[in-house]
């Protein structure tokens, strides 16, 4: 994980049990863990592996909130994600203690082919777990949500037989052409996950005509490429992700939304969102560009609230619970508009209820 840290964890904070805020929708949330093996291609990062194997967490509305809750990470996953940060006073296994809200293998609620599906793709080197709060929120509002771990692109992915893969792609991320390859791998992963879900028993719940995608950082940035590669993805959003491979001149005509950080952007001046300005004219359908004041890069993931609870300063000037609420609210509104055709005044004009949110376009 890429964190900007200016404080060590206080002993009192490090001793607390971190938790994800409860989702705000009306339905309990269930989750199941799926292992998927694509035998049509070797692994792109470790070619000696003759297949591409992925782990996916599928969140969904459930009939009951009773039952064991999903473990956020295993102790080893937590250790591998935190060991590079070297935060004094913070136990390396702390992420394995995070309390979540999704019931493992709960009975799903929903009629035949009734649930819109949202795919979540995490940032570079980050596990799917870091988007759990957003996944739980969407599921509580009646969505199926598939959060993907892109194998060998994060610090630790645990498979059902117990083996754990590391970040093999981290050894080549400085090489020329890396991001172009990345922008091909993740769309293929996404399409394979869609194929697998829709052909499984879970496909009976999912409406294949209502599929969206979003992600954080590199996972958000690659959403445009996934949409270009797979017309089943009807709408997409990028949560603070720098676009390394631009949209082609032929454009993307399906709905898209950018969400970023106000303090890092000045219109017309060089900065970290130049690539968004480059892509903007090539988004030819419904589009929106929002900036949220006081946020830092990790404010759009679980790490904002977890860092606050653990006494770690990320440098944000917004209350992290507020940042998470804004992320959940605007992403949910976006998919409600474009996958459910429900009018969303929140996306039409700036709202006095969310003064932190600026409309760029």
pLDDT at residue 347 tops 80: yes
Q: What is residue 13's predicted lDDT score, i.e. its pLDDT? A: 54
Q: What is residue 3's predicted lDDT score, i.e. its pLDDT? A: 38
Mean pLDDT throughout 308-317?
A: 94
Q: What is residue 338's predicted lDDT score, i.e. its pLDDT? A: 98
C-alpha angle 357-360-361 in degrees, rounded to nearest 5: 120
Mean pLDDT throughout 288-307?
A: 97
Whole-number Å distance between alpha carbons of 300 and 215? 10
Confidence of residue 307 (pLDDT cuts 50, 70, 90): very high
Q: For residue range 63-121, what is the model confidence (pLDDT) as tens digits?
A: 999 999 999 999 999 999 999 888 888 999 999 999 999 999 999 998 889 999 999 99
Mean pLDDT throughout 249-268?
A: 88
Residue 340 parent element (H or E): helix 320-340
Mean pLDDT throughout 2-24?
A: 65
Mean pLDDT throughout 157-164?
A: 96
Please give the order of strands across the beta sheet that includes 115-121: 103-104, 29-38, 52-61, 144-149, 115-121, 206-216, 233-239, 256-261, 287-292, 357-359
pLDDT at residue 11 tops 80: no
pLDDT at residue 24 tops 60: yes
Q: Give the percent of the chain with pLDDT over 70.
A: 94
Mean pLDDT throughout 249-261?
A: 97
Mean pLDDT throughout 25-33?
A: 98
Specify the pTM. Answer: 0.95
Lowest mean pLDDT among 8-17, 239-248, 309-318: 8-17
**pLDDT, the chain, mean:** 93
CATH superfamily of 11-359: Alpha/Beta hydrolase fold, catalytic domain (3.40.50.1820)
Handedness of CA 311, 317, 319, 325 (dihedral sign): negative
Q: What is residue 272's predicted lDDT score, i.e. its pLDDT? A: 75
From the list 36, 28, 34, the residue with the least C-alpha distance to 108 is 28
Lowest mean pLDDT among 43-47, 88-92, 202-206, 227-231: 88-92
């Amino acid at each position: 994980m890429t964190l900007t840290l200016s404080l060590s964890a206080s002993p009192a904070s490090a001793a607390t049990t971190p938790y994800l805020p409860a989702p705000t929708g009306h339905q309990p949330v269930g989750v199941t863990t799926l292992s998927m093996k694509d035998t049509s291609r070797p692994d792109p990062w470790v070619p000696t592996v003759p297949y591409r194997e992925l782990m996916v967490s599928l969140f969904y509305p459930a009939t009951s909130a009773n039952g064991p809750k999903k473990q956020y990470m295993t102790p080893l996953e937590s250790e591998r994600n935190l060991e590079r940060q070297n935060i004094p006073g913070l136990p390396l296994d702390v992420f394995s203690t995070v309390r979540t809200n999704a019931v493992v293998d709960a009975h799903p609620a929903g009629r035949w082919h009734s649930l819109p599906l949202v795919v979540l793709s995490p940032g570079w080197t980050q596990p799917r777990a870091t988007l759990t709060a957003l996944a739980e929120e969407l599921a509580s509002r009646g969505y199926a949500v598939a959060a993907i771990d892109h194998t060998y692109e994060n610090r630790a992915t645990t498979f059902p037989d117990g083996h754990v893969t590391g970040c093999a792609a981290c050894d080549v991320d400085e090489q020329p052409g890396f991001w172009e390859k990345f922008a091909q791998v993740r769309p293929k992963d996404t399409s394979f996950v869609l194929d697998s879900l829709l052909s499984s028993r879970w496909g009976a719940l999912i409406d294949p005509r209502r599929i969206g995608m979003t992600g954080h950082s590199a996972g958000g940035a690659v959403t445009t490429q996934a949409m270009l590669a797979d017309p089943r993805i009807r709408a997409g959003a990028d949560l603070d992700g720098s676009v390394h491979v631009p949209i082609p001149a032929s454009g993307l005509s399906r709905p898209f939304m950018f969400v970023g950080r106000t303090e890092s952007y000045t219109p017309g001046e060089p900065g970290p969102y130049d690539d968004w300005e480059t892509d903007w004219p090539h988004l030819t359908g419904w589009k929106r560009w929002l900036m949220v004041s006081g946020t830092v890069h990790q404010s759009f993931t679980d790490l904002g609230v977890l860092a606050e609870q653990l006494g770690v300063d990320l440098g944000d000037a917004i209350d992290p619970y507020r940042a998470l609420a804004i992320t959940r609210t605007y992403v949910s509104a976006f998919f409600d508009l474009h996958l459910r055709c429900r009018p969303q005044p929140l996306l039409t004009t700036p709202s006095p209820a969310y003064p932190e949110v600026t409309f760029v376009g």
